[in-house]
Amino acid sequence: MLAMIAAAFWEPSFQAKPGARAARRLPRADHSPATLSGQATGRRRHPFSIRRTLLWSGESSAAPILPEPDVTQAQAVDGDYDYIIVGAGSAGCLLANRLSADAGKRVLILEAGGRDNWIWFHIPVGYLFAIGNPRSDWCFKTEPEAGLNGRSLNYPRGKVIGGSSAINAMIYMRGQAADYDHWRQLGLVGWGWDDVLPFFKRHENHFLGESHAHAVGGEWHIDAPRVRWDLLDAFRAAAAQAGIKSIADFNCGDNEGCCAFHVNQKRGRRVSAARAFLKPVLHRPNLRLETGCLVEGVMFDGRRAVGVRWRQEGGPGNGKDAMRRSARCSGEVVLAAGSIGSTQILLLSGIGPADHLAEHGIGVLIDRPGVGANLQDHLQLRLIYKVEGVATLNARYHSPLGLPRMLAEYALFRRGPLTMAPSQLGLFTRSDGDQARANLQYHVQPLSLDRFGEPLHKFPAFTASVCNLRPTSRGAVRLRSREAADPPVIRPNYLATEDDRRIAASSIRLTRRIVAQPALAPFHPDEYLPGPAVRDDDEQGLIKAAGDVGTTIFHPVGTAKMGLPSDPMTVVDDRLRVVGVERLRVIDASVMPTTTSGNTTAPTMMIAEKGAALLRADAKAFAS
Ligand SMILES: Cc1cc2nc3c(=O)[nH]c(=O)nc-3n(C[C@H](O)[C@H](O)[C@H](O)COP(=O)(O)OP(=O)(O)OC[C@H]3O[C@@H](n4cnc5c(N)ncnc54)[C@H](O)[C@@H]3O)c2cc1C
């Protein structure tokens, strides 16, 4: 059956041919042993299982930050590039597309992960296999969190071309107009809702067609879900009975209400940023993709970024060892390695809080206390309800014919549960009367499990996950060591503020109120987690329960905050340039000064679209 599906999936765009064509035109391109080892053969092994005795080449950086390199081990990638993009993730793929559209600019894009030649990157339900798998996930962990009663969380981030968009839940969500108007109020010129709407639309191909809010013809497909569940229809009716109206579209500026999530899919297949933006242009002779590259730092001449150095899997003549490589850049270096990766690279390059850099023996290029600070994430509280007399994925999956039926439905019609984003029904509402706009988001799922990566429960159940959209708690990302291969220290600091704890307690109460409505009564919902022993009138008990059932909904942002240069916590200005140095930008989720009210891919793609326009405009101004 899996073979049937694989056959249905085998399309030219899944093959590495475009890259191979690029390889013929550019010397030493992406078909090196480094890029074709491990990932391509489907073997599970850590791409950076290397001999640690190797030393790096810093090329000709005038301000070397790490110890003197052993240049004999170094291999420079040919020539000068106009742009070097670090990270072929959600933002990086879009940037590569837009920047290489100018045939006169040479663009190099470096990715730590491999190619997406694995079927589970393309079948939507594949996130169940990709999350927690070193083939596709960095497999980070947070430190133990006081707000989570000492628990440490798995903290997935995509490690493959497409980045997190290759393993995420595919929900298309822009947030609220007020999020961006708030950015403009912070003094960030050009980042209000009216300013950014054209950048959302520039790459959009929306199934609802062209309107004031949406566009068609772009690379980023947004589709309606291809599966429905009576249980979720009943939840929507219950929400209406609790006073939460049904709406048709979350993405017009105000997302308050209840609706099925729209998804980044095309005819039942995931649309990742690699599929949408990178693979279709890999034939361009001026674009070069290198995979299996762990970027270790930016090279500087004084305070001007002049290149990037990395460790690449697979040396010449063998597929096992890593080698140090570097490339020079006469234009701009762009970090698009995400909220964790870009932070780590800035710190390793000597840009960050001086005391922290000194702790790790890293020379300070510029003291910017904001690097790695201001970490914001959405904490989802996963309330689980056992049900009776209605279909759930748990029951379908565990029934003897359930799985074959689902596979057949997918292979024949590209419909059914294999097309499922984990959450199909969304709901935005207010936790209390003091809120000026929706501050809670629900992800409702016809399934339950202990955590992603673990099996579905054997009993029929649904999950109503609720998160506070604008938490006031702030965490941090810090280096564990000066080794790029060492995972950084991640402390989201969930539920650290009184406000966040109060909203967590209110959101559990509200969930119970919705589930108690008549529309769900025929299915006898029975609270499994946190369970009826935690009473609504016990505020402290509810907060403790929130710490027990809370987990990330995978939205870290803010670690390279965009702000006014006068603010010491600012990392990039409103043109996304790193303050204090030249020719270095950060363009990814980490630049958001405050998180958006919803999932974070669409805002990241908008940032990349706008960032590409800023880069191109500045290059033109510089040339004239
Ligand atoms: C499991 C999961 C589910 C999610 N669900 C949704 C959802 O349904 N809807 C939604 O809107 N958002 C969702 N998100 C969030 C969303 O995917 C991210 O906010 C968004 O993709 C971030 O984009 P980015 O470009 O900043 O980073 P990424 O897409 O993570 O890209 C960063 C890239 O840089 C590479 N990289 C990192 N460090 C280095 C280095 N040192 N050297 C070289 N390369 C490096 C990485 O491998 C990666 O490819 C989810 C995220 C996850 C992980």
Instruction: Report how far ligand 1's centroid is from the alpha carbon of 340 (Å).
Output: 9
14 or 145, higher pLDDT: 145
**Residue 121 pLDDT exceeds 60:** yes
- pLDDT of 494-537, one tens digit each? 999 999 999 999 999 999 999 999 999 999 999 999 999 999 99
123/414 Cα distance (integer angstroms) = 9
Among protein residues, the one with the nearest Cα to ligand 1's atom 21 is 164
Name residue 309's beta-bridge partners.
Answer: 297, 326
- pLDDT of 567-587, one tens digit each? 999 999 999 999 999 999 999
Instruction: Report how far ligand 1's centroid is from the alpha carbon of 165 (Å).
Output: 6
402 or 9, higher pLDDT: 402
**Residue 442 pLDDT exceeds 80:** yes
User: Given this model, what pLDDT does residue 77 score?
Assistant: 65
Burial 213-235 (b: 16+ CB within 10 A, else e): bbbeebbbbbbebbbebebbebb
Instruction: Report how far ligand 1's centroid is from the alpha carbon of 164 (Å).
Output: 3
Index of the ligand 1 atom closest to the CA of residue 173: 11
> Of 90, 103, 226, 78, which Cα lies nearest the Cα of 168?
90
User: Given this model, what pLDDT does residue 67 score?
Assistant: 30
Q: Is the pTM of this model over 0.85?
A: yes
Q: Is the CB of 611 under 6 A from ligand 1?
A: no
- pLDDT of 269-319, one tens digit each? 999 999 999 999 999 999 999 999 999 999 999 999 999 999 998 755 445
User: Given this model, what pLDDT does residue 320 score?
Assistant: 58
In this prediction, residue 32 has a pLDDT band, given cuts at 50, 70 and 90, of: very low
> Hey, is 622 helix, strand or coil?
helix
Instruction: Report how far ligand 1's centroid is from the alpha carbon of 323 (Å).
Output: 25
- pLDDT of 463-506, one tens digit each? 999 999 999 999 999 999 999 999 999 999 999 999 999 999 99
- pLDDT of 135-169, one tens digit each? 999 999 999 999 999 999 999 999 999 999 999 99
In this prediction, residue 19 has a pLDDT band, given cuts at 50, 70 and 90, of: very low
Q: Is the CB of 341 under 6 A from ligand 1?
A: yes
With vertex at residue 509, the alpha carbon angle to CA 506 and CA 515, rounded to the nearest 5 degrees, is 140
> Hey, is 274 helix, strand or coil?
helix
308 or 76, higher pLDDT: 308
Mean predicted lDDT score pLDDT of the chain: 88
User: Given this model, what pLDDT does residue 428 score?
Assistant: 98
Peptide bond into 530 cis (omega under 30): yes
User: Given this model, what pLDDT does residue 95 score?
Assistant: 99
321 or 312, higher pLDDT: 312
**Mean pLDDT along residues 448-468:** 92
| Best mutation site among 164, 289, 424 for ligand 1 pocket (most ligand atoms within 8 Å of CB) | 164
Q: Is the CB of 464 under 6 A from ligand 1?
A: no
Instruction: Report how far ligand 1's centroid is from the alpha carbon of 386 (Å).
Output: 32
210/48 Cα distance (integer angstroms) = 46
User: Given this model, what pLDDT does residue 46 score?
Assistant: 28
In this prediction, residue 369 has a pLDDT band, given cuts at 50, 70 and 90, of: very high
Which secondary-structure segment (H or E) carries 300? strand 293-301
**Residue 419 pLDDT exceeds 70:** yes
390/231 Cα distance (integer angstroms) = 7
State yes or no: is 555 an active-site residue: yes
Q: Is the CB of 124 under 6 A from ligand 1?
A: no
- pLDDT of 37-70, one tens digit each? 222 223 333 222 222 222 222 222 323 223 333 3
First to last CA, the chain: 59
Give, as one character, the DSSP assignment of residue 263. B
Q: Is the CB of 589 under 6 A from ligand 1?
A: yes
Q: Is the CB of 587 under 6 A from ligand 1?
A: no
Q: Where are the alpha helices (DSSP H) in 360-440?
A: 393-398, 402-413
Q: Is the CB of 167 under 6 A from ligand 1?
A: yes
> Hey, is 540 helix, strand or coil?
helix
> Of 540, 504, 529, 379, which Cα lies nearest the Cα of 431?
504
Q: Which residue has the tokens 């879009």?
A: 94
Q: Is the CB of 588 under 6 A from ligand 1?
A: yes
| Best mutation site among 86, 90, 265 for ligand 1 pocket (most ligand atoms within 8 Å of CB) | 90
Q: Is the CB of 113 under 6 A from ligand 1?
A: yes
Index of the ligand 1 atom closest to the CA of residue 263: 8
Among protein residues, the one with the nearest Cα to ligand 1's atom 50 is 168
User: Given this model, what pLDDT does residue 54 score?
Assistant: 21
Q: Is the CB of 271 under 6 A from ligand 1?
A: no
Contact of 562 with 593, CB cutoff 8 Å: yes
Cα separation values, 70 from 54, 55, 318, 351, Å: 8, 5, 20, 23
**Residue 379 pLDDT exceeds 90:** yes
User: Given this model, what pLDDT does residue 454 score?
Assistant: 81
**Residue 12 pLDDT exceeds 90:** no
> Hey, is 104 helix, strand or coil?
coil
Percent of the chain with pLDDT over 70: 86
Contact of 418 with 4, CB cutoff 8 Å: no
Instruction: Report how far ligand 1's centroid is from the alpha carbon of 109 (Å).
Output: 16
**Residue 325 pLDDT exceeds 50:** yes
Q: Which of 356, 378, 457, 555 is catalytic?
A: 555
Index of the ligand 1 atom closest to the CA of residue 162: 49
Instruction: Report how far ligand 1's centroid is from the alpha carbon of 57 (Å).
Output: 28
User: Given this model, what pLDDT does residue 421 score?
Assistant: 84
**Residue 1 pLDDT exceeds 50:** no
Instruction: Report how far ligand 1's centroid is from the alpha carbon of 213 (Å).
Output: 25
Q: Is the CB of 159 under 6 A from ligand 1?
A: yes
